[in-house]
């Protein structure tokens, strides 16, 4: 009879390896192999997703043993296996009755009790509990296998959906960058229609034609590295340095005597025990107890070690890049070409955020505000919702600046880039607002403006660190699309 305090389903899983087999079977699917080999970023993201699933499904399958249908039977098994043989013979029938209706071992148990004389056999309890344990283990294994298959089918459906979405995205964007492809995979849970793909292709094409917008987006992507840093003269850096370390394993010098079991450094007089058979056992006892007299040696060995120190820095210090917060004026005055420019520039910043592992938030503002997180897990759905939004209403720049300042005051938004896309046909901001903005600028947050109109308020745009104007003439736009 197996001696156990509980039926440890986790150990059963480890021994059977069914989860590892399922992971191996998943990774050998031809469609997944082809997708993984197409780009290292996709391969890494897919592997991470499968490994995360492995941990989740192991926890879920392990819980099978505590489900109501098994818990009562496990308790009965534990109780019966600990009885003494005489007590077991008297009460085994009551145990079998309790199995009825929820144990696969019930009918087998009844057949074992048919011979009444068997109950009083000293070995009967041992045999009965062994048979019960095997039946219980089989039932648990079948249940966990069923649970695993259900989760595996859901994972496969998700993986195939992501592969399909990534194939569709190849029509829209060049996903050759490893980091960009990996993050796109994380966002690719959304199912795209032909209309969705066409919408993104249209915006990507618009951005490519209007290369001035693309240049603005690329410049914004580099801004995080161009901020003045008070520590740029001396920054902490790691360097490899050869150092000498004292070591007892280097035989440069003999520095004394100590007790040990190292035969290579044995004092000669210790070997005298081996010359006399009656003292030989004393030598081996000292060896086992590590009490043989040994020479103590010490020396210095050279090792490469990473040493952290402050170094003088002559070039620009690389900064941690925070998220993009893109505030887009969605008022009625932005309809038409300015609306297309705003959406295309936000799409371009999203592409940069993917490549640089940054977050990208879009806040559409008019008389109300709507926030989209373009780089989260279901970011493609957010992108599509954002691109389909129609501009209407009035302009309330103060309210969106309030919200953005609140966000940028948190640690998550340190070194963030706030980009306001608007026609800036709005009143100037208050002195109190200016003070809040200047305080954030001191913490490396940057404020940018892209003016999409000839009639923007110059005083309003003066609050930003950088301001670009993009409003080509109608003739210029026609020439770009030729």
pLDDT in tens, 164-196: 888 888 877 765 566 677 778 878 777 888 888
What sections of 177-334 are H helices per DSSP? Answer: 178-187, 194-209, 211-222, 277-288
Here the tokens at position 212 are 């001035």
Domain boundary among 169, 184, 200: 169
Q: Do 278 and 348 sit in the same domain of this protein?
A: no
pLDDT exceeds cutoff 70 at 449: yes
Going by C-alpha positions, the residue among 388, 397, 443, 393 that lies closest to residue 420 is: 397
pLDDT tier for residue 61 given thresholds of 50, 70 and 90: confident
pLDDT of the residue at 119: 66
The pLDDT of 354-367, averaged and rounded, is 86
Share of the chain above pLDDT 70, in %: 80
Instruction: Kindly report the three-state secondary structure assignment for every residue of 327-362.
Output: EEECCHHHCCHHHHHHHHHHHHHHHHHHHCCCCEEE
pLDDT exceeds cutoff 80 at 112: yes
Total structural domains within the chain: 3
pLDDT of the residue at 201: 87
Q: Do 223 and 239 sit in the same domain of this protein?
A: no
pLDDT tier for residue 117 given thresholds of 50, 70 and 90: low
pLDDT of the residue at 282: 87
pLDDT of the residue at 478: 36
pLDDT tier for residue 319 given thresholds of 50, 70 and 90: low
Per-residue pLDDT reduced to its tens digit, 62-78: 666 555 567 778 888 88
Q: Name the phi and psi angles at 374, rounded to 5.
A: -75, -15
The 10 Å CB-count burial string (b at 16+, else e) for 65-80 is: beeeebeebbebbeeb
pLDDT exceeds cutoff 60 at 231: no
- The whole-chain average pLDDT of the chain stands at 79
pLDDT of the residue at 450: 92
Q: Do 223 and 238 sit in the same domain of this protein?
A: no
174 located within any domain:
no
175 located within any domain:
no
pLDDT tier for residue 247 given thresholds of 50, 70 and 90: low
The pLDDT of 9-17, averaged and rounded, is 51
pLDDT of the residue at 386: 87
The pLDDT of 312-338, averaged and rounded, is 75
pLDDT of the residue at 421: 92
1 located within any domain:
no
Q: Do 461 and 346 sit in the same domain of this protein?
A: yes
Domain ranges, residue 60:
9-169
Q: Do 247 and 379 sit in the same domain of this protein?
A: no
Question: What's 300's DSSP letter?
Answer: E
pLDDT tier for residue 16 given thresholds of 50, 70 and 90: low
The pLDDT of 197-203, averaged and rounded, is 87
pLDDT tier for residue 444 given thresholds of 50, 70 and 90: confident
Let me know: does 370 contact 387? Beta carbons within 8 Å.
no
pLDDT tier for residue 99 given thresholds of 50, 70 and 90: confident
Contacts of 272 (CB under 8 A, 6+ apart): 279
178 located within any domain:
no
The pLDDT of 388-416, averaged and rounded, is 84
Q: Name the phi and psi angles at 37, rounded to 5.
A: -75, -15
Q: Do 107 and 149 sit in the same domain of this protein?
A: yes
pLDDT exceeds cutoff 60 at 475: no
What is the C-alpha to C-alpha distance for residues 420 and 81, in angstroms, rounded to an integer? 73
Q: Do 446 and 350 sit in the same domain of this protein?
A: yes
Please state, in angstroms and as integers, the Cα–Cα distance from residue 371 to each residue in 6, 141, 327, 364, following that order: 51, 47, 9, 6
Per-residue pLDDT reduced to its tens digit, 126-161: 888 888 888 888 888 788 788 888 888 999 998 888
pLDDT exceeds cutoff 80 at 7: no
Answer with the residue of higher pLDDT: 173 or 461: 461
Answer with the residue of higher pLDDT: 144 or 385: 385
Let me know: does 105 contact 135? Beta carbons within 8 Å.
yes
Q: Which residues on neighbouring strands pair with residue 240, listed in sequence order? A: 306
187 located within any domain:
no
Q: Do 371 and 429 sit in the same domain of this protein?
A: yes
Among 298-307, 333-342, 363-372, 411-420, name the one with the lowest average pLDDT. Answer: 298-307
pLDDT of the residue at 89: 82
Which helix H or strand E contains 417, and what residues bound it?
A: strand 417-422
Domain boundary among 312, 329, 361: 312
130 located within any domain:
yes
Q: Do 364 and 295 sit in the same domain of this protein?
A: no
Domain boundary among 292, 312, 332: 312
Q: Which residues on neighbouring strands pair with residue 327, listed in sequence order? A: 363, 420
The pLDDT of 396-413, averaged and rounded, is 85
339 located within any domain:
yes
Q: Do 252 and 308 sit in the same domain of this protein?
A: yes
Answer with the residue of higher pLDDT: 105 or 320: 105
Per-residue pLDDT reduced to its tens digit, 276-304: 888 888 888 888 888 889 988 887 766 65
pLDDT of the residue at 481: 35
188 located within any domain:
no
Q: Do 436 and 476 sit in the same domain of this protein?
A: yes
Q: Do 16 and 149 sit in the same domain of this protein?
A: yes
């Amino acid at each position: 009879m197996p001696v156990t305090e509980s039926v440890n389903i986790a150990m059963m899983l480890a021994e059977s390896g069914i989860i590892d087999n399922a992971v191996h079977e998943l990774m050998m699917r031809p469609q997944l192999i082809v997708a993984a080999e197409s780009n290292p970023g996709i391969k890494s993201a897919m592997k991470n997703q499968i490994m995360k699933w492995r941990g989740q499904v192991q926890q879920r399958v392990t819980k099978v043993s505590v489900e109501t249908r098994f818990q009562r039977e496990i308790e009965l098994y534990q109780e019966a296996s600990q009885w003494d043989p005489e007590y077991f013979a008297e009460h085994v029938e009551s145990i079998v009755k309790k199995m009825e209706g929820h144990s696969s071992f019930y009918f087998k148990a009844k057949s074992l009790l048919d011979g009444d004389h068997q109950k009083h056999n000293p070995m009967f309890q041992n045999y009965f509990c062994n048979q019960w344990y095997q039946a219980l283990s089989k039932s648990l294994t079948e249940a966990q296998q069923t649970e695993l298959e259900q989760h595996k089918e859901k994972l496969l459906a998700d993986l195939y959906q992501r592969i399909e979405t990534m194939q569709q995205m190849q029509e829209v964007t060049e996903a050759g960058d490893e980091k960009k492809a990996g993050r796109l995979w994380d966002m690719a849970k959304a199912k795209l229609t032909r209309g969705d793909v066409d919408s993104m292709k249209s915006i990507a094409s618009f951005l490519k034609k209007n290369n001035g917008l693309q240049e603005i987006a690329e410049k914004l992507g580099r801004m995080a590295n161009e901020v003045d840093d008070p520590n740029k003269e001396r920054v902490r850096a790691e360097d490899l340095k050869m150092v000498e370390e004292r070591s007892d394993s280097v035989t440069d010098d003999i520095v004394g005597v100590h007790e040990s079991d190292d035969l290579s450094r044995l004092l000669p007089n210790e070997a005298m025990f081996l010359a006399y058979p009656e003292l030989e056992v004393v030598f081996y006892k000292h060896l086992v107890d590590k009490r043989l007299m040994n020479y103590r040696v010490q020396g210095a060995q050279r090792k490469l070690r990473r040493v952290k120190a402050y170094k003088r820095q002559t070039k620009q210090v690389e900064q941690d890049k925070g998220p993009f917060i893109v505030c887009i004026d969605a008022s009625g005055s932005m309809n038409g070409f300015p609306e297309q420019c705003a959406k295309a520039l936000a799409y371009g910043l999203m592409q940069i955020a993917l490549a640089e592992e940054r977050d990208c938030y879009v806040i559409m503002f008019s008389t109300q505000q709507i926030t989209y997180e373009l780089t989260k897990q279901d970011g493609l759905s957010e992108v599509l919702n954002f691109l389909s939004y129609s501009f209407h209403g009035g302009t309330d720049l103060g309210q969106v600046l309030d919200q953005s300042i609140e966000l940028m005051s948190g640690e998550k938004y340190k070194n963030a880039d706030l980009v306001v896309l608007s026609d800036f046909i709005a009143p100037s901001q208050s002195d109190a607002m200016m003070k809040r903005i200047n305080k954030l600028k001191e913490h490396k947050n940057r404020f940018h403006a892209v003016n999409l109109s000839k009639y923007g308020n110059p005083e309003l745009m003066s609050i930003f660190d950088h301001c670009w104007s993009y409003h080509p003439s109608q003739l210029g736009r026609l020439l770009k699309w030729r």
